[in-house]
Structure 1
């Protein structure tokens, strides 16, 4: 039997778990699931108390993507029955954002399909971001526009964007199995660009695409190398009309184990329950709140989610509270990691090298 409390103790001390330790979580028995959730809840409660951060997606441009990601309903060649449209008008975007903020979201995620934005796209979005920040002080804006070119992350930051999302999705070793039009390294580079520009890095994974337990561990460790501030965990929605249609490889129990593994790898980082939760977790969604500290509210990019009112009721009934806009996202414990340099160049002390 896996000693989950020992793993939780390591996470509470921010000691990195080994590959085998994380693998033991994913391969543990359904009979031990409640013990696993109880152990990871200790970590979640220590760093995030009982707060749940609400995020709201706005799909700025839907469908007609030239990339061939096998999991995506917007991919090249997809025949999925989704709504397709070009860029929303600024007033449409602001209206959609207002709906999410009114429902309690403290972060809005502006997403557009495509390989990556043109400079004109970034110019188009800039004033909209600025207006959102004016309309809703304290609300975070996260952009998710695909692969970034030089200078685009800085321009988004200057417009007021707080964060940039670009998921790694799976391990580097099997990335070519789910996409051939860009590489795993392309994705890593975009996250690095966003981070170096001062945007909060947001990057996660998709589970249920036929990956092994070891692949999930490898993906989590690759994400750990990027040191993201938030890690969304998506569960595959097997849309008809995509190559992964019919891939129903997840159970609610397995989803909880994946979330627990993410929490133990990222003890003091925002772990977000993302797309597919209603489909795969079903009645165990409230239990997942004991592991994650963040969820998406309402609908997703091309699929309908649980009604926002039901999300809020679920959070309340499970004994949690919604995090308000403007509240500190990262736990205070991470703030002491920011230290001004008083050694190395310009001082009499040796560098930290």
Structure 2
């Protein structure tokens, strides 16, 4: 066992592999060692990503109406959450939403659609959107998140210009049946492998705070390490009213930092994104989390509102970081928008702006 977190960081920097005992020590670390843990994780983050923050922007192409029963999801079958529900955005609407995020500094646009998985017609629809987006913004990465893929669909997306594919493992294999019964953990792993086989960058992550044990959390993180995901979004459960997990508040800001540090130590050279729910769970520790994570979503999420986009960009700059891409261009990102009020720190705020509405997006 290591003597202190600085020694553990040195081990990782020399090519070491995080063990289960070390992972448990991170999760069980006392509050008076929290800053030491963050400082050690920050050494790994700085080694591999310097002072940059990758900004990602979500476009929800199709909201709600999902036949799956994932207990955490506001879009699930039977959800009573009062979210926006709409079928596929028109290509020009999707392009407009994406352009807003790009102007605000996003170097990756994530195109997301609810459902178990796409039909071939859906894949062609998204491929057409991506081709148009790449024509207008050739420098921007596009990540698709369309659910479980069938044979050949990943290749079609790759040929259209998609750079990455997101499909989260969400939790451990042993815990999966407790959060979903309409598909299996193996389906998710298989989809990530399909994406990798087609040459797409694999993006796969977690949702924490669903009642998983420490061992189940570590199992999930180690599974992502074994899967060799290039990008790992860590979502913090947003317990929407009207879902089976409503009222589930199991996370503290300090423990969220420990979870991010665990992922950084397990996967030191991977993009680590603090994703949905960061505002309500990390709260005032979000700036400190940037010392561990090197990526975030700007503005709103799929069905909930995030804090004002300008607040995100100010947080990045105030902590001595630069938006990835802006440092190469030598120019600041566009600063002319008003993303609206900060998201509530006590409960999910249902998204009522951006994609699927007549209101300007939060970016």
- TM-score with structure 1 length normalisation? 0.91
Q: What is the alpha-carbon distance in structure 2 between the residues aligned to residue 127 and residue 146 of structure 1?
A: 18
After TM superposition, the runs of 4+ consecutive aligned structure 1 residues lying more than 4 A away are none
Q: What is the alpha-carbon distance in structure 1 between the residues aligned to residue 14 and residue 3 of structure 2?
A: 19
Contact 1:8 1:43 in 2 (8 A): yes
What residue in structure 2 maps to residue 90 of structure 1? 91
Q: What is the alpha-carbon distance in structure 1 between the residues aligned to residue 187 and residue 57 of structure 2?
A: 26
Q: What is the alpha-carbon distance in structure 1 between the residues aligned to residue 302 and residue 213 of structure 2?
A: 26
Q: What is the alpha-carbon distance in structure 1 between the residues aligned to residue 327 and residue 232 of structure 2?
A: 20
Contact 1:105 1:325 in 2 (8 A): no
Q: What is the alpha-carbon distance in structure 2 between the residues aligned to residue 14 and residue 281 of structure 1?
A: 30
Give the secondary structure class of the aligned counterpart of 1:231. Answer: strand
Give the secondary structure class of the aligned counterpart of 1:173. Answer: coil
What are the residue-to-residue correspondences of 1:120-135 with 2, within 5 Å? 120-135=121-136
How far off its partner does 1:20 sit?
1.0
Contact 1:66 1:114 in 2 (8 A): yes
Contact 1:2 1:24 in 2 (8 A): no
What residue in structure 1 maps to residue 193 of structure 2? 192
**Residues 1:280 and 2:272 aligned together:** no
How far off its partner does 1:325 sit?
7.2
What residue in structure 1 maps to residue 354 of structure 2? none
Q: Paired residues, what number?
A: 327
Give the secondary structure class of the aligned counterpart of 1:115. Answer: coil
Give the secondary structure class of the aligned counterpart of 2:70. Answer: coil
How far off its partner does 1:10 sit?
2.0
Q: What is the alpha-carbon distance in structure 2 between the residues aligned to residue 9 and residue 247 of structure 1?
A: 37
Q: What is the alpha-carbon distance in structure 2 between the residues aligned to residue 160 and residue 196 of structure 1?
A: 15
What residue in structure 2 maps to residue 18 of structure 1? 19
Could you say what the CA RMSD is over the residues aligned between the two structures, in angstroms?
Answer: 1.2
How far off its partner does 1:36 sit?
0.3
- Give per-residue Cα distances to partners, 1:3-23, cap 9 Å, x unaligned: 111221122123211111111
Q: What is the alpha-carbon distance in structure 2 between the residues aligned to residue 192 and residue 325 of structure 1?
A: 32
Q: What is the alpha-carbon distance in structure 1 between the residues aligned to residue 326 and residue 69 of structure 2?
A: 36
Q: What is the alpha-carbon distance in structure 2 between the residues aligned to residue 137 and residue 261 of structure 1?
A: 35
What are the residue-to-residue correspondences of 1:201-240 with 2, within 5 Å? 201-240=202-241
What are the residue-to-residue correspondences of 1:324-339 with 2, within 5 Å? 324=325
Q: What is the alpha-carbon distance in structure 2 between the residues aligned to residue 64 and residue 2 of structure 1?
A: 51
- Give per-residue Cα distances to partners, 1:118-173, cap 9 Å, x unaligned: 00000111111011111112100000000000000000000000000000000000
Q: What is the alpha-carbon distance in structure 2 between the residues aligned to residue 138 and residue 49 of structure 1?
A: 21
Cα distance change on mapping 1:109 and 1:326 into 2, 3 Å: farther
What residue in structure 2 maps to residue 8 of structure 1? 9
What residue in structure 1 maps to residue 182 of structure 2? 181
What residue in structure 1 maps to residue 145 of structure 2? 144
Q: What is the alpha-carbon distance in structure 2 between the residues aligned to residue 267 and residue 11 of structure 1?
A: 7
Q: What is the alpha-carbon distance in structure 2 between the residues aligned to residue 82 and residue 222 of structure 1?
A: 32
Gaps of 5+ in 1: 328-353
- Give per-residue Cα distances to partners, 1:68-118, cap 9 Å, x unaligned: 000000000000010000000000000000000000000000000000000
- TM-score with structure 2 length normalisation? 0.89
What residue in structure 2 maps to residue 79 of structure 1? 80
What residue in structure 2 maps to residue 37 of structure 1? 38
How far off its partner does 1:2 sit?
6.0
